[in-house]
Amino acid sequence: MNMEIKKSPLHHEIYVVFIKDVKSELRTKVAANAILLFALTTLFLVSYVVGPYRIAPADQPYILSAWLWIIFFFSAMSGLSRVFVKEEETNTSIALQLAARPEAVFLGKFFFNLVLMLGIALVITPLYVILMEFPVQSWSHFIIVIFLGLTGMTTGVTIIGAIVAKASMKGTLFPILSFPIIIPLLLAVIEGTSMTARSASLAQTMQLTSVIIAFTGAMFVLSLLLFEKVWLE
Partner 1 sequence: MKILIFLWIIIICYLSFLFSPPAAGFIGESSRIVFFHVPIAWLTVLSFLVAMIQAIRFLKTRDPIYDLMSAVACRQGFLFAILATVTGSVFARVMWQSFWNWDPRETSITILLFIYAAYLVLRASIEDPQRRAILSSVYATFSFIPALFLIFIVPRVYYSLHPDTLINVQGKIQMYGRILFTFVFSLGGFTALYFWMYNLECRIEKLLYRKEGHYD
- The residue ranges that bind partner 1 (CB under 8 A) are 156, 159-160, 163, 166-169, 173, 176-177, 179-185, 187-188, 191, 204, 207-208, 211, 215, 218-219, 222-223, 226, 229-230
Helix (H, G, I), strand (E, B) or coil at 179: helix
CB of residue 188 vs partner 1: minimum separation in angstroms?
Answer: 7
| Helix, strand, coil share (%) of the chain residues, nearest 5 | 80, 0, 20
Count of other CB atoms within 10 angstroms of residue 70:
14
CB 196 within 8 A of CB 136: yes
By beta-carbon proximity to partner 1, the closer residue of 64 and 195 is: 195
CA distance 7 to 42: 45
Burial 117-149 (b: 16+ CB within 10 A, else e): beebbeebbeebbeebbbebeeeebbebbbebb
Kindly give, in sequence order, each residue whose CB lies less than 8 Å from that of residue 186, ignoring residues fewer than 6 positions away.
69, 73, 149, 153
CB of residue 158 vs partner 1: minimum separation in angstroms?
Answer: 11
CB of residue 182 vs partner 1: minimum separation in angstroms?
Answer: 8
By beta-carbon proximity to partner 1, the closer residue of 43 and 230 is: 230
By beta-carbon proximity to partner 1, the closer residue of 32 and 66 is: 66
By beta-carbon proximity to partner 1, the closer residue of 75 and 158 is: 158
CB of residue 166 vs partner 1: minimum separation in angstroms?
Answer: 6
Kindly give, in sequence order, each residue whose CB lies less than 8 Å from that of residue 89, ignoring residues fewer than 6 positions away.
none
By beta-carbon proximity to partner 1, the closer residue of 21 and 191 is: 191
CB of residue 219 vs partner 1: minimum separation in angstroms?
Answer: 6
CB of residue 48 vs partner 1: minimum separation in angstroms?
Answer: 27
By beta-carbon proximity to partner 1, the closer residue of 50 and 181 is: 181
